[in-house]
Every structure is written in structure tokens, then in C-alpha cells.
Chain A
């Protein structure tokens, strides 16, 4: 039901991916492709392996002795574990994890840190980046008068958006969003969702969400993960109109469990 796209259109190619924490299997034998400039939704109940999948892309397994990855994840055709400079890989992949972490730096420095590390030194350039990223994350209006206060002392919802701004400041070409709207009010969520639609022109976005309707609003295609298994990958509309190959998918989408 999903044709194989031309190799040049594939952003992320997942082949037989399996993730274990010790003896516990978090994700097993998963294969699918994510295309350039699409929003790829991943839905599923808790403990389905969604977050583990994102951590594997970003090579965060390096900091967790317990985490083991088998199979392949090809980013632009190169296996992520073969990158010689893992930091360059992570700079290209922006991540927003569900528990927002504002760094104990000023709000300005939170967003300016990544450009600075990448070599941007001029204050004027940094100002532009900081304002653009905070605006896109729908946070600028709330913090523009106190850019020097600590990012780690913002409210949960604000820290969440600060994390989004920080991810955008990396100018990534792959953006991983994990439950980004968990602590954000509905109106602001809508504003960020509009921004994501625009960002699709610049980057590929993987959107992990518990909110089935959010996936429906945003994602071009959606995968359904269930207890470590990738049950289905389909055009989002097909998923919601019942054109699914597995009964469990429509059961979940229609709210019969989850």
C-alpha cells in the first residue's frame, strides 16, 4: 500500500531495527522508510518503543550501557553508528524529549548555545537566530523582556517550548518531536502545529505523539507502534478512514484501547 520511494527521496531508512534494554525488548524487527520533507507520525500507547526509536536515531545509546541496538538506521544513506563524528550527526538531528529540560543558562544562552558551538560569534547574528527560534516555538512574546533570566526556572510549558526553540537553533534537517505538547495549552499547541507545517519545507519531522488527532492533523504518513512492534505504516488518511491491514490499528485509532 506504500510504494518504495526513490532512494534520493529517503531521509531515514530503518532496516530490521531491534532495541533492547538488558534483557527487555523495547522494539523488535522494525523496517520502514521516512521520506524527505514529510511529517512522519508515530502513534501508540505508552511503552511501545517510540521514544527508544528516537534515542537510537540520535545515538543516545552511547550514554546508556544497558541499551543495545541491532539492525540498521540509515540517515541520508549512512548508517548512524558509522558516523565518525557523532556530534556532527546530533547537530543535524534536533530532538525534543517529553520531559523538557531548560539548561541552567539564561533563556538567550539556551537558544544561542548551539549556534555558538557551531561557530556563530557575532551578537547580531545570534540575536536574529534567538528571536526567530523563540518566535517559531511560540515563546518569544512571553520571554522577550527577560531573556537574561534562567531557562531552568521557567514553567514546565515554557521549558517545553524553550526546548523546541533550542532544537530549531541547531538548524537540523531532521527534527524529532516526542510528545512536545504534553505541558502546553491547546491554543499554543495549535500555534506550534502551524509552525511545524511550515517547517516541513525545510526539514523532515518525526512526530511521536499520544494524541491520535494530533497525528491526523499534522502527519503525512503515520506508523502505529504497539508493545515494541511496528504494527502498521500507512498514509495518515488511510489509517483514519479504516483502510488498515491490521485490526489492532483501527481499534487503537478509534479509541477501543490505549
Chain B
């Protein structure tokens, strides 16, 4: 009767279908890796020509003169663009981090039931507003507002773009921070409360230290969001190459430079390649930010 088992032990259609599906979904899975590598390869393909050829490290990182269209003396100093991006992102974080973390603390530790759900939905809505609409808000609402409130000639500046970016980065920071706070075991809170600590004491002395890594990740992802934002900073910064001396100065961001100049360059030209080189810089920085944030997030889970 031993042959009985052998006869039934056939690889049937279902077995082969299962294997085929496994391969198919595996391809879907690794496609994410293929795409990310593809992004690097295709941007590199256009941009490395510049980096290996015309690229001058000192000029690129330390000269504020970005004059790629100059016929006689084209220079590719990205300092002003880097400072532009950094100042807007920095100001945005200054505005946004306290509020985002505060909102996360409120949602995770104080709010309950319907109020909590409503807040979460509204923050999700905030995240859903397209960046071009934010840019439009900066242009047509914030601009006149800043001019009249601060009595300055131009309302498209670091202040304007910073506030807009801060609002755009707030949802991701709030959400990730809330997750981090929620991940702190209730046992910690109960133990501290049993010792007679008030809610705030529990939060400050127990919950916040325990959630520290997640909060750092939240801020990092917020920085990444602000750093890579394109349309809103294009429309709200004033778009002029300039190292700002106050928040009322207009600036120009890396992303916005690519967005405005790419359409006007000839494919393969030095200028065109320089824009791809800016892309490589953006890609590399956000890659590092995301990687670091992920390491911090995994830090929470390992605990």
C-alpha cells in the first residue's frame, strides 16, 4: 500500500499555480527596489556627466552664484540654493515641531473618543491638501497678509514659505509622533500613576523619554518632507537667488530651481546636467534622512 502515498503525492495544478503566484508577487515586491535603484541610475546617468566634468566642489558648495544661463561666464554655485532650502526648512521646523509634537501629545495622551477621531481625520485632511494649492495659498492669501501685517514690500519670503511648509510637514510629524507615544506600554504609565504622579509628570518623566527615538524619527521625516517640497516653495519663497539676512528676504530652493529651469534647458547641455546633479544631491540627502528615521523607528520596535 506504500505506493498509495506516492500516487497521491503529485504536484497538481494548484501546486504550480501557487508557485507561479509566489514568483509573480515576488516580482511585485522587488519592483520597489528596482524603482529606487532605477531612480538613482537614471538621474545619475544624466547628472554624473556634470559631476565628473564641469563640477567644481568649492564652487558648487561655497559660491552663491548660480548663473547657468550666462553666455560668457556660467557658474554653478549652489550655496544660495542650499541656504535657501535650509532656511525655509529650518524656519518651518521652528514653527511646526512644537505644535506637531504638542498636538501628538494631546491626541495620544489627553483626547479620547470622538474628539480624538475628529482631530485625526482633520490632520489627515491637512496632509491631503496638494502642494500646488499650498503654493497658491502662499501666493494669494499669505502674501498680502504678510505685507500688511509686517509692513514689508514683499510677502513672498522665508516667513511665508516657512509657515506653509510647517503646515505641510505637520501631519507626518504628528502621526509618527503619536504612534511613538502610543507604543509606550500602558504598564509604564500605570506604574508611575500608582506612585501618585500627575498625568503631566507621567508624560514628561516616563512617556516622553520612552518615546524619544520615535519623536526624533518624526522630526526627521518632517525635515525630509520640507526639504523635498517643490511647488509650495516655488510659489511662496519669492524665487530669487539670495542668501537671506532676515525672514523677510526672498530666497530660492534647490527643488524650485529644478522645477523652473528644467523646461528651459536643452537636453544633455551642461545646464541640464547640472540640474540633474542638484537632483542627485536631493536624492542623497532625503535617502539619508529616511534611512536614519527608519533606524530610529526600528529602535522603538526593538524595545
Q: Are B9 and A8 in contact (CB under 8 A)?
A: no
B residues 1-33 in Cβ contact with A at 8 Å: 1-2, 4-6, 8-12, 14-15, 18
The reply to whether A88 and B2 form a contact with Cβ atoms under 8 Å apart is: no
Docked pose: A88 CA to B9 CA in angstroms: 6
A78 to B15 alpha-carbon distance, docked (Å) = 19
B: interface residue count bin: 10 to 19
Stretch at the interface among A79-87, A97-105, A229-237, A246-254: A79-87
Contacts of A77 in B (CB 8 A): 1-2, 5
Within 8 Å by CB of A85, from B1, B2, B12, lies B12
A216 adjacent to chain B (CB < 8 Å): no
Is A243 located at the chain interface by the 8 A CB criterion? no
Instruction: Tell me, in angstroms, the Cα distance from A89 to B12 when the chains sit together.
Output: 12
Q: How many angstroms from the CA of A117 to the CA of B39 in the assembled complex? A: 43
Shortest CB-to-CB span from A173 to chain B, Å, is 9
Greatest chain A CB density within 10 A among B1, B12, B15 is at B1
**A70, CB-defined interface residue at 8 Å:** no
Q: In the complex, are the beta carbons of A78 and B6 less than 8 A apart?
A: yes
Could you say which interface size class chain A belongs to?
10 to 19
Contact A76 B4 (CB under 8 A): yes
A162 sits at the interface (CB 8 A): no
Do B14 and A78 touch across chains, with their CB atoms under 8 A apart? no
Is B5 touching A75 in the complex (CB atoms < 8 A)?
yes
CA distance A157 to B191 in the complex (A): 39
Question: Does A20 make an interface contact (CB < 8 A)?
Answer: no
Known: A76-B1, A76-B4. A83 touches B9 (CB 8 A): yes
Q: Are B8 and A88 in contact (CB under 8 A)?
A: yes
CB–CB B9/A89 < 8 A? yes
With both chains docked as a complex, state the minimum distance between the C-beta of B9 and any C-beta of chain A, in angstroms.
5
B12–A76 CB distance below 8 A: no
Residues of chain B within 8 A (CB-CB) of A83 are 5, 9
A-side contacts of B9, CB under 8 Å: 78, 83-85, 88-89
A132 at the interface (CB under 8 A from B): no
In the complex formed, the residue of A with least CB distance to B16 is A85
A75 to B5, CA, bound (A): 8
B145 to chain A, nearest CB (A): 54
Residues of B within 8 A of A92 (CB): 8
Determine which residue in A8, A75, A87, A88 has the highest number of CB atoms from chain B within 10 A of its CB, and name it: A88
Determine if B6 and A85 form an interchain contact, defined as CB atoms under 8 angstroms apart: no
Q: State whether B12 touches A88 (Cβ < 8 A).
A: yes
Q: Is the CB of A88 within 8 A of B10?
A: yes
Partner among B4, B6, B15 whose Cβ is within 8 Å of the Cβ of A87: B15
B5 touches A85 (CB 8 A): no
In the complex, the answer to whether A84 meets B11 with C-beta atoms within 8 Å is yes
Instruction: Tell me how far the C-beta of B91 lies from the nearest C-beta in chain A, rounded to whole angstroms.
Output: 49
Contact A8 B8 (CB under 8 A): no
A85 touching B11, Cβ below 8 Å: yes
Q: Which A-B residue pairs are the 4 nearest by beta carbons?
A: A77-B2, A78-B5, A76-B5, A85-B11
A75-B5, A77-B5, A87-B14 provided; 16 other pairs, C-beta below 8 A? A76-B1, A76-B4, A76-B5, A77-B1, A77-B2, A78-B5, A83-B9, A84-B10, A84-B11, A85-B9, A85-B10, A85-B11, A87-B15, A88-B8, A88-B12, A117-B14
Q: Mark A residues whose CB is within 8 Å of B.
A: 8, 75-78, 83-85, 87-89, 92, 117
| Interface pairs (23), CB distance under 8 Å | A75-B5, A76-B2, A76-B4, A77-B1, A78-B2, A78-B5, A78-B6, A83-B5, A83-B9, A85-B10, A85-B11, A85-B12, A87-B14, A87-B15, A87-B18, A88-B8, A88-B9, A88-B10, A88-B12, A88-B15, A89-B9, A92-B8, A117-B14
